[in-house]
Amino acid sequence: MKALPDLDLLSVAEKDDLIRALFAQVATLTAQVEALTAKVAELEGRLAQNSRNSSKPPSSDGLHKPKPKSLRKAGQKPSGGQQGHPGHTLKQVEHPDHVEPHFPPSHCTACHRPLSGAVVVETRQVFDIPPLHCEITEHQVLEARCACGKAHRGEFPAEVSAPVQYGARIKAAVVHLTHHHMMPVARTGELAGDLFGLPISDATVLAINKEAGALLAPTVSAIARALKAAPVAHADETGMRVAGSLHWLHVLATPALTWLGSHTNRGKKAFDAFGVLVAFAGTLVHDGWKSYRDLTCGHALCNAHHLRELTYVCEEMGQAWAQSLIDLLVGACHEVNASGGPLAAERIAYYRSAYAATLAAGEAANPRAPPSGKRGKTKQSKALNLVDRLRVHADDVWRFTTDHGVPFSNNIAEQAVRMPKVKQKISGGFRTAAGLETFCTIRSYLATLHKQGDNLFHALTLAFQGNPPQPRFA
C-alpha cells in the first residue's frame, strides 16, 4: 500500500476521491481474505478426512490412523463371543486315532508290593496333523497278447495325461492358498516345498490357477445368472493395478452369492460388457455413484457412507444437525433389526418427518451461495451438497425401513471387495488382464462357497477331478 499523502494539502474533492479509493481497496482485500479463508478451510477439511469420516479407504490413512469409534452404544454387546455363537473350542472325541497308555510304576513306592489292575482315571488328548509328505502314485498300463496274436492294452485314467503331473489335492492346495488366503505366487510354491516336500515353480502355480479358472467358469456364469434374478443385490467397484495401468474390479453380491468381474472401464461400458447389472431388475444397494443410479432397477443407498460423511460435518465443521441425523438413522436401524423386517407405517412417517426437519436445520446452517454467473452449477459447501443429496434421494436412504430384505448398509459388497484389495496389497498387482480375470472367476466361486459354509479345499479337489460342487443358487 502506498503511503498516504499529506491530507492538509488536499482539497475536499481530492479527499473524497481518496476515501472512495480506500473503501474500494478494503472491499477488494476483504473479498480476497474471505476467498482465501474459505480455501484454507477446504484444504484443512481435506486433510482432516480419513476412513472414519469419509469414503476414503483405510489404506489411505497411512501411519496416522484414526482411533476406532463405534456408533454402537456402550453396553449393548459385551466383549468376547456373543450369545448363540457356536465357538471352536477343542473337545475330546470318543474314538481317538491313537491311544498311548501311561502305566503307573510296577511296585508301590511305600511298601514295595507289586501293583496290578490299573484302570484309566484321566485322559488328555492332543490334536495334531500327521507328518506331511508327497505321495506319488504310479499308473502302469499292462498289455496282454491273445493266442491269435492280437495285443490288448489297459488304458490310463482320463485325468492322467502326462508322464509326470500334479494331482488334484496339491492343485487344490495351491489355488486355496493363492485365492482364498491371498498368498503371493512365489511364496505359495515355497510353502508347498516346505509343507509337502514338493516345491512348485511360479509358472506352474500360474498354470494351475489358469486351469482352475477354466474349470470353474461355467459355475461362475451360473452365479451371475442367479444374481440377475435376485430381489436384492449389492454392488461396488474398486481399482486394481494391471501391468502398471488401472483396471476396475466390479462386484455384485447377495448374502449367499458373490460375482466378480474385471474391466478397463468403471461405468456403463463395463456394465454393458458384463450383462449382469443391466439385466438386474431387483433393488440394488450401492453408494450412490451415478453409473449405478442410471440403471433401471430399484435403488437403495448405503447409509454407512452417509454416517461417515455426517461424522465429518459434525466433528470437523461443528454442525449439530449432523449428529441428530446420525442418531436418527442409527435408531431406525436398531428398530428395524429388532422387529426383523420393515417398520409399521406410523413409525416410517415419524422417521421421515424427523428426517425432513433435520435436513431443514442442515440447510439453515449452510446458506446457499448465490449464482456465480458462470456456466454450470454454483459451487456449494460440502455440508449443503450432502443435505441436497439426502433430500433428493430420501426414498432410497430409507429403503431399509420399507422394503423387506433391504439392509441398512452396503457391507456385503464392501466385504467382497476387501479381499481382492488384500491380494493387491500383498502381491502389488497383476501382470496381465487375463490374470485378473482368472482371479475374479476363482474368487467368485470361493467367496460364494465360503458364504454357504462349504469346505473350500474339498470343493477345489473335486473341481480338479472334474466334478466341481455347485453352490445353492436359490
Three-state DSSP class for residue 113: coil
Q: Structurally, how many domains does the chain consist of? A: 1
- pLDDT at residue number 371: 82
Q: Give the pTM.
A: 0.83
Question: Is 327 part of a structural domain of the chain?
Answer: yes
Q: What was the pLDDT predicted at 99?
A: 94
Residue 285: inside a domain, yes or no? no
pLDDT attached to residue 142: 94
C-alpha cell at 294: 442410471
The three-class DSSP label of residue 232 is strand
Confirm whether 49 is domain-assigned.
Answer: no
Cα–Cα nearest to 406, from 301, 328, 251: 301
Q: 340: domain range?
A: 303-366+379-409
DSSP state of 197: S
pLDDT of residue 80: 66
Does residue 246 form part of some domain?
A: no
Nearest to 261 by CA among 471, 51, 441, 119: 441
Domain-embedded: residue 402? yes
Residue 339: how many other CB atoms lie within 10 Å: 12
Residue 201 within a domain: no
Distance CA 100, CA 455 (A): 31
Per-residue cell: 154:
489297459
Q: Is 344 contained in some domain?
A: yes
Domain for residue 332, yes or no? yes
pLDDT digits (tens), the chain, 474 positions: 567 777 777 888 887 888 888 888 899 999 899 888 878 877 777 777 776 666 666 666 666 666 666 656 666 666 666 777 776 788 999 999 999 999 999 999 999 999 988 999 999 999 998 888 889 999 999 999 999 999 999 999 988 989 999 999 999 999 999 999 999 999 999 999 999 889 999 999 999 999 999 999 999 999 999 999 999 999 999 999 998 899 999 999 999 999 999 999 999 999 999 999 999 999 999 999 999 999 999 999 999 999 999 998 998 888 999 999 999 999 999 999 999 889 999 999 999 999 999 999 999 999 888 887 788 788 888 899 999 999 999 999 999 999 999 999 999 999 999 999 999 988 888 899 999 999 999 999 999 999 999 999 999 999 999 999 999 997
Single out the residue of 422, 403, 405, 425 nearest to residue 414, CA to CA: 422
What whole-number distance in Å separates Cα of residue 172 and Cα of residue 458? 8
What are the grid coordinates assigned to 196, written together?
509337502
